[in-house]
Every structure is written in C-alpha cells, then in structure tokens.
Amino acid sequence: MEIKNAVAGTLESGDILIQIAPGEGLQVDLQSSVAAQFGRQIKAVIAETLSGLGIDNAYVKATDKGALDCTIRARVTAAAVRATGKDVWKD
Amino acid sequence: MRNTKLVTLEEAIHRSGLRDGMTISFHHHFRGGDKVVNMVVAKLAEMGFKDLHLAASSLSDVHAPLIEHIKNGVITKISTSGLRGELANEISHGLMKEPVVFRSHGGRGSAIASGELHIDVAFLGASSCDELGNASGCPRSENAKSICGSLGYALPDARYADYVVVLTDDLVAYPNVPKSISACEVDSVVVVDSVGDSTKISSGAIRDSKNPRDILLAKLAAKVIINSGYFTDGFSIQTGTGGASLAAVKYIRESMLEKGIKASFALGGITAHMVKLHEEGLIEKLIDVQSFDKVAAESIAHDQLHQEVSAIEYASANYMGSAVHALDIVILSALEVDVNFNVNVLVGSDGIIRGAVGGHPDTAEDSALSIIVCPLLRGRIPCIVPKVTTLITPGKGVDVVVTEYGIAVNPGRPLVKQRLLDAGVQLTDINDLAAKARSIIGEPDPLPFGDQVVGIVMDRNGGVLDKIYNIVD
C-alpha cells in the first residue's frame, strides 16, 4: 500500500501525536511521558492497529502525552487513513 | 542607637562562624519566587565553603542552580519537605552520594526542637525587618518589594539555630511591629535587593481549577464532609493545595450558609478562599503556617483573628499543643493511593521525585476525618494503585478516598461509612477502584529503579518510613 506523509492527534495531555511517513518494514519511534511503564504496550497497540489496516511498511513517529489505548488506536487509524487515502470507515 | 547587626551577607557569614560540613537552613514561604536560597548558596560557593548540609523547609523548581553547587561539592547533603523540577530530576537520577532526607512540616519542627536536626546557621528571608532583627513576612513601606505573610516555617529555625541571619528587602525603623521573628533570636540583618517574587507564591502546586473533573471531585468531597458527622457548628477544617480540594471549599460554603453552620478555625496553608469565608463570618479564626497567596498574606498583616503559627505548633506529633490535634476535617490530594489507603505525594509514578511531603502525614493522622481527593487516572498514570511507589502517609490515618469513579471508606472507620450510607452516599471498595484503573490502562511494566538510595522518608517521630531509589534511564 502506498504511504504519504500524514499526521493525526495533538500534544495535549491525554492525547498522542502520530506522524506517518514511507518506510521499509514497520518502524515505531516513540517518545512518551509514560515510556518506562507503558512504552511496550503503546508500541504494540500502534503496530497492531497499522497491521490491522494492512500497513506493514511505514515509519511512525509517536509523541505520547499519556493517551489511553482507545485514543492511540483512533489517532493511528486517522493518520493511516490520511496516509493511504483509503477510508477504512467507508470502504 | 548603635547598631552592630546590620552587615553585608559576606560579613554575616563570617560572623556566624560557619565552617565546612555545617548545616544551613532556609524557609520556603516565597515558594516558586524564592531568591534567598540561590543567593546565599552562590555566596557560600564564592567564599569557598564545601560539604554543607542544606536543610530547607522545602525546595522547588526555582532551586535548579543548586545542581551546580552539588556537583562542585558546596552542598553534599539536603534535608527538605519537597523537591521539584530539574533539581528533583537530577537527584532522582543519582546526583548526590548522600540521600536527601524528607520530613513532614511537623516532623521537621520536631526534629529541630529535639536537636536531631541541628541548624548551625539559618538564613531567613523577611519582607520587613528593623536593624535589630525584628522581622515579618509583611512589608511596612509604601512601595514594598515583597510580601509572604506568615513566617511559620521559619520560626523553628529562628528559635533553635545557633546563628540567625535575616535577609530583608524592606529595612524599616525600629521597632518593626507586629513581628514574627524577635530581635532576641537574630544575630545579623542583611539588606538585599529582593528576597522573593511574591507573584510566584501561588505558582507550583496551587491553581484555581476550572477542570470539570476537579469540580466533580470537589462536589463529591463536599458531600462526604457534609454527611460525615463532623460537619457541625464550630468544626475546624484544612484544605490542601490540589485544584479539587480548593474547589471543595466553595461547596462547603454553600452548605454552611444553608444550614447556618460556622467553623471555629481553618488551619494550615491559608488561601484567598479561606480568607473570603473568614471575612464573611463563616470561619471565626485563621491559623496560618503559610500564606498561599497574596490575599492571605495581606489578610494576616491586618486581621487580628488571622494568626501566624510555627511549624511546631502547627503539626508536630510530639507537641501536645499542636493545632492538628484540634483539627476536625482535612481535605488532601495525592499522587497515588493504594488499596491499603497508604498515600504517596512525593514520588511520581515514573519514579522521579516531583512533590512534597508537606503537612500531609501530620494532618491525616491527627485530624478526626481525613479525605483524599484524586482522579482515578491522570492521563495514563493511575492514582489508585495496588501499592504506592513511595510511602508518605500510612493508611491508618487516611479515612476516605474520593475519586470520580467512586468513594471508598477505610474499613477502620465503620462509623463514617455508616453515616455516609445512611445519607445515601454511594460507596465502593478501594480494591474495585484499583481494578477499574488497571482495566483502562493495562498492566504497567515495573519502574527501572537502580540500587542507589537517593531519598529517605522520615516518619513524624524520626523513624525511617521508606527509601527512594535512583531511576535508571
């Protein structure tokens, strides 16, 4: 699937900013205020969400401000839709 | 009048007989606006002192310059109630060989009085002072530079330190009355440009919340208080500095007006909220260890029924006359509460020191009813946990925990529980709150603690309550 640069989310407390760019394989670069305790889980949620959308090649920069998993999924999905032009909610 | 006390800072330090390895002390009444600690320690560094023990009543973000003085060996030991900002971050990562000693405000008062914490030289900022050393947190001049109100945390230092230096930015003609610190206790007076920025007193912990969650928490806390059995005419109250606990005052006020109930006194850190209730006649007296904003500081300057109290008289466990023993209700905040009602207000869930012990353990233990108000989660950080990261206030002194997901009563307080149930207040089990938090955030990985002790938490009576280890990145 072809990927363009795309962004979703904010840097507000409780949110996460997801930036997607073309890449080889799935690479997640995470900065998080809760990295020590939840970094592993956050990366897993991002990877699962993307592969569920059929994206296996992308570079993802995630700047997390303590977002819950539901928020992370929503932001990753929105960024993926913008990156691929494929509307997962409609198609 | 021939005056020999009025000298420069350097001369005061010479006269004090300060030597390497000794203990110096400071108060934190200017909170985030404090200028005295950095000014004095810079001078001590310039004069070549090493290996000093800095015993402050608390430290905050503004004290980041101490990092350099620690690296250079000027300061090798710290005792305080709190640490915040970059200094706290560096210390949590192992900056100091010697662990920081944390005490509650009452615990510090007791330790100073007993000699366990011996102060060689106290450097105390004051918003006015005469040349003999009668000092006050209230200015007297027309265009005063600073105001901090109560000097409650400085009074044990003034009384027990071997040598007392008052620094002031408002030197006034003798006699400076009313005074907080007596000339009898002061050895040197130093005039400086500024002892502190009063506009920054209400920064840091204190904020006026418009957050809807804080307002919900405040309403729930007020409901608990009103139905606790302690909300009767002549009750006494203290609030912490969290947004929700300050907002609760508003709802308590409404109920006081409705029921015709008046409070005998409000205690502790006094805020504009409490001053307003006092001026309305709803709270008879204010007992002020620390004026938390300018309104409170101005009130203590003019109002006879708004009285200063020293840290010892405020909250010492072993001092029978201390005010906390007469306290009915206290509302406090928390970083974490665990399923045994233990509270942490010092170390963040990332293992980094980011708060202060304050009067939390003192008021929780000695009050008739202590209520902890905190959200279930802050972002992804849980506030109700299986076990606190660091133990600050033991659960036996904590009676009710209020979260937006439910209210839990300590099983050790069945009467309070029954009164709340009788009033139709819905209660939940604290284990259910912890489980609810886990169900939302998942299971956190353990924190990357190292094996270096960076902090020791003392209990109110001078025993060791807990240890804080370094964090490894």
Q: What is the pLDDT of residue B172?
A: 96
Integer Cα distance of A46 and B281 in angstroms: 57
Q: What is the pLDDT of residue B445?
A: 94
Q: Is B227 left (phi over 0), alpha (psi -120 to 50) or beta?
A: alpha
In a domain, B376, yes or no: yes
Is the whole model's pTM more than 0.90, yes or no?
A: yes
Considering only CB atoms, which chain B residues are within 8 Å of A66? 378-381
Residues B377 and B278 in one domain: yes
DSSP 3-state assignment of B36? helix
Residues B104 and B71 in one domain: yes
Integer Cα distance of B312 and B292 in angstroms: 19
* CB–CB contacts below 8 A, A to B: 41
CB-CB: which of A13, A33, A37 is closest to B444? A37
Residues B306 and B371 in one domain: yes
Domain stop point among B157, B173, B200: B200
In a domain, B314, yes or no: yes
Concatenating the DSSP letter of every residue in B113-174 gives HHTSS--SEEEEEESEEETT--EESS--STT-S------TTTHHHHHH-SEEEEEES-EEPS
CB-CB: which of A13, A36, A41 is closest to B379? A13
Q: What is the pLDDT of residue B205?
A: 46
For the ranges A72-81, A82-91, B96-105, B410-419, which has the lowest average pLDDT? A82-91
Residue B451 has pLDDT above 90, yes or no: yes
Q: Name the band, by pLDDT with cuts 50, 70 and 90, for residue B210.
A: confident
Residues with Cβ within 8 Å of A58's Cβ and at least 6 positions away in sequence, in order, are: A3, A20, A21, A22, A23, A26, A27, A50, A83
Domain stop point among B171, B200, B229: B200
How far CA B26 is from CA of B23, B431, B467, in Å, comes to 10, 41, 24
- The arithmetic mean of pLDDT across residues B375-400, rounded, is 96
Q: Do B445 and A65 touch (CB under 8 A)?
A: no
In a domain, B4, yes or no: no
Integer Cα distance of B214 and B357 in angstroms: 22
Concatenating the DSSP letter of every residue in B164-221 gives EEEEES-EEPSP--S-SB-GGG--EEEE-S-SB-GGGTTSTT------HHHHHHHHHH
Considering only CB atoms, which chain A residues are within 8 Å of B471? 36
Residue B207 has pLDDT above 60, yes or no: no
**What are the residues facing B120 on neighbouring strands?**
none
Please check whether residue A79 touches B, CB under 8 A. no
For the stretch B229-267, pLDDT in tens is 999 999 999 997 777 888 899 899 999 999 999 999 999
Residue with tokens 């409070």: B263
Residues B397 and B252 in one domain: yes
Look over chain B and give the mean of its residue pLDDT values, rounded to a whole number.
95
Residue B58 has pLDDT above 60, yes or no: yes
Please check whether residue A31 touches B, CB under 8 A. no
Residues B303 and B241 in one domain: yes
Integer Cα distance of B468 and B466 in angstroms: 7
The torsion angles phi and psi of B113, rounded to 5 degrees, stand at -65, -35
Residue B389 has pLDDT above 50, yes or no: yes
* Residue type (1 letter), B184: C
How far CA B117 is from CA of B63, B69, B125, B153, in Å, comes to 22, 22, 20, 14
Q: What is the pLDDT of residue B76?
A: 98
Residue of B260, B257, B332, B272 whose CA lies nearest to B306? B272
In a domain, B164, yes or no: yes
By CA distance, what is B473's nearest residue in A? A36
Q: To 10 degrees, what angle do helices B272-279 and B243-259 make? A: 10
DSSP code, position B227: T
Integer Cα distance of B458 and B81 in angstroms: 10
Residues B186 and B217 in one domain: no
> Is there a cis peptide before residue B394, judged by omega within 30 degrees of 0?
no
The two structure tokens encoding residue B170:
């408002």
Residue of B360, B395, B367, B368 whose CA lies nearest to B229? B368
In a domain, B207, yes or no: no
Given a contact cutoff of 8 angstroms between Cβ atoms, the answer to whether B277 and B253 are in contact is: yes
Residues B70 and B31 in one domain: yes
- The arithmetic mean of pLDDT across residues A58-81, rounded, is 97
Kindly provide the b/e burial profile for residues B441-460, where b requires at least 16 CB atoms within 10 angstroms of the residue's own CB: bbebeebebeeeebbbbbbb
Considering only CB atoms, which chain B residues are within 8 Å of A40? 445
Residues B193 and B217 in one domain: no
Q: Do B380 and A40 touch (CB under 8 A)?
A: no
Considering only CB atoms, which chain A residues are within 8 Å of B445? 36-40
The torsion angles phi and psi of B53, rounded to 5 degrees, stand at -100, 115
For the stretch B126-168, pLDDT in tens is 999 999 999 999 999 988 899 999 999 999 999 999 999 999 9
Q: Name the band, by pLDDT with cuts 50, 70 and 90, for residue A91.
A: low
Residues B287 and B422 in one domain: yes
The torsion angles phi and psi of B408, rounded to 5 degrees, stand at -120, 135
DSSP code, position A8: E
- Starting at the earlier edge strand, list the strands of the sheet with B128-130: B135-136, B128-130, B171-172
Please check whether residue A69 touches B, CB under 8 A. yes
Number of domains in chain B: 2
> Which of A13, A15, A30, A37 would you mutate first to test chain B, the one with the most B CBs within 10 A?
A37
DSSP code, position B49: -
Largest CA-CA distance found in chain A, in angstroms, rounded: 38
The two structure tokens encoding residue B425:
């207040």
Residues B112 and B164 in one domain: yes
Residues with Cβ within 8 Å of A2's Cβ and at least 6 positions away in sequence, in order, are: A84
Q: Do B444 and A14 touch (CB under 8 A)?
A: no
Residues with Cβ within 8 Å of B443's Cβ and at least 6 positions away in sequence, in order, are: none
In a domain, B348, yes or no: yes
In a domain, B78, yes or no: yes
Least Cα separation, residue A65 to chain B (angstroms): 7
Considering only CB atoms, which chain A residues are within 8 Å of B437? none
Residue A54 has pLDDT above 80, yes or no: yes
Q: Do B350 and A36 touch (CB under 8 A)?
A: yes
Q: What is the pLDDT of residue B203?
A: 56
Residues B128 and B254 in one domain: no
> Which of B93, B354, B380, B473 would you mutate first to test chain A, the one with the most A CBs within 10 A?
B380
Residues B314 and B168 in one domain: no
In a domain, B39, yes or no: yes
Q: Do B444 and A38 touch (CB under 8 A)?
A: yes
Given a contact cutoff of 8 angstroms between Cβ atoms, the answer to whether B466 and B344 are in contact is: no
CATH number at residue B48: 3.40.1080.10
Q: Name the band, by pLDDT with cuts 50, 70 and 90, for residue B202.
A: confident
Owning domain of residue B273 = 212-445
